[in-house]
Amino acid sequence: MIKSKAQKRRERRFKLVKARGELQSALDKYSISLGNTNSLGNTNSLGFLNDDEYIQTTRDDDYIQTTRDDEYLQTTRDDEYIQTTRDDEYLQTTENKESNTLDNWSLDRLPKNMHKYYHQRYSLFSLFDHIKIDMEGWFSVTPEQIAIHLANRLKGGTIIDAFCGVGGNTIQFAKKCDKVIAIDNNKTRLECAKHNARVYGCENIEFIHGDYMQLDLKADKVFLSPPWGGISYNQSEFSIDDMPIKGTDIFNRTKRITNDICFFLPRNLKKEELMFEDVEFEETFLDGKLKSYSVYYGNLINRH
């Protein structure tokens, strides 16, 4: 039977209501209270994006997210997480300290839809066995070979890694630049990045726990690898202004610091949205597979 658009829409709404119910139970369980239920973009917000397909709320270090088709519900608070996947086939709650650890990962500590990252662990970090990483770190860290390539393109001077996560890029920048200023607004991931930088023997890094969009910093160049909106970012056409922090706002904010900017973005980006000025798009491949785009501005553009 072919479903009409209206029918698909009704079904989606139904799923969303269900996802919202699950989200609320998760919030209740952890006594997380939400403020405004309609706005997005603020902390303490629960909102809808993209035709009701997407709910996201962020409260300081808490992170709650559901995406299209109920595939993914995640809450993280002090390293505790609850996650449900499609059809509720999987529900995991981690409360005891041991399973909250950021190392000693094994497949059974990850939901099925994230097993692929575990299989790629040594391409994420060649020293993976000594690394600390959390759930969001798993799906957002830049694989080491790509991070090395980016560091070669951005080498020298002082660089800001505005959204440093668990440090995949920071570590490689530290090897090729004089100084790295590494920022993350999530304490757990910032601690992972500090630990991981020590594992790789890097010392020329200043770590800052804070909101990049609020900080007033000076540097020669800025690398931007913001949250794309969860692991389902490539289910539909990707717009930089649908990211949890609008891509246009990130770019404009960064222009106050420097013209030499590199934006790390999904392979399904809309190029026309990035043409703020003269720009170079570079496809980033790993093992023959297109992973992402690196988008360069200013003197970072390769003009040869």
Select from 9, 116, 130, 270 the one that contacts ligand MGP (CB under 6 A).
Answer: 116
Residue 175 in contact with residue 126, Cβ under 8 Å? Answer: no
Select from 125, 264, 296, 297 the one that contacts ligand MGP (CB under 6 A).
Answer: 264
Cα–Cα dist 304/87, whole Å: 52
Between 99 and 236, whose beta carbon lies closer to ligand MGP? 236
Between 26 and 124, whose beta carbon lies closer to ligand SAH? 124
Under rule CB under 6 A, residue 140 binds ligand MGP? yes
Closest CA to 232 of 24, 53, 57: 53
Instruction: Give every CB contact of residue 104 below 8 A, 6+ residues apart in sequence.
Output: none
Under rule CB under 6 A, residue 223 binds ligand MGP? no
φ, ψ at 33 (rounded to 5°): -105, 145
213 binds, among ligand MGP, ligand SAH, none (CB under 5 to 8 A by kind): ligand SAH
Cα–Cα dist 96/115, whole Å: 22
DSSP string, 249-293: HHHHHHHTT-S-EEEEEETT--GGGG-SSS-EEEEEEETTEEEEE
Query: Which range, of 2-10, 87-95, 134-142, 207-215, touches ligand MGP by CB under 6 A?
Result: 134-142
Instruction: Give every CB contact of residue 24 below 8 A, 6+ residues apart in sequence.
Output: none
Under rule CB under 6 A, residue 158 binds ligand MGP? no
169 binds, among ligand MGP, ligand SAH, none (CB under 5 to 8 A by kind): ligand SAH
Between 70 and 144, whose beta carbon lies closer to ligand SAH? 144
Closest CA to 212 of 171, 183, 189: 183
Least distance to ligand MGP from the beta carbon of 247, Å? 12
Between 70 and 188, whose beta carbon lies closer to ligand SAH? 188
What residues make contact with ligand SAH under the rule CB under 6 A? 136, 140-142, 163-169, 183-186, 189, 211-213, 225-227, 245
Specify whether the backbone of 175 is left (phi greater than 0), alpha (psi in -120 to 50) or beta.
Answer: alpha
Residues contributing to the site for ligand MGP (CB under 6 A):
116, 139-143, 225, 227-228, 231, 233-234, 264, 291-292
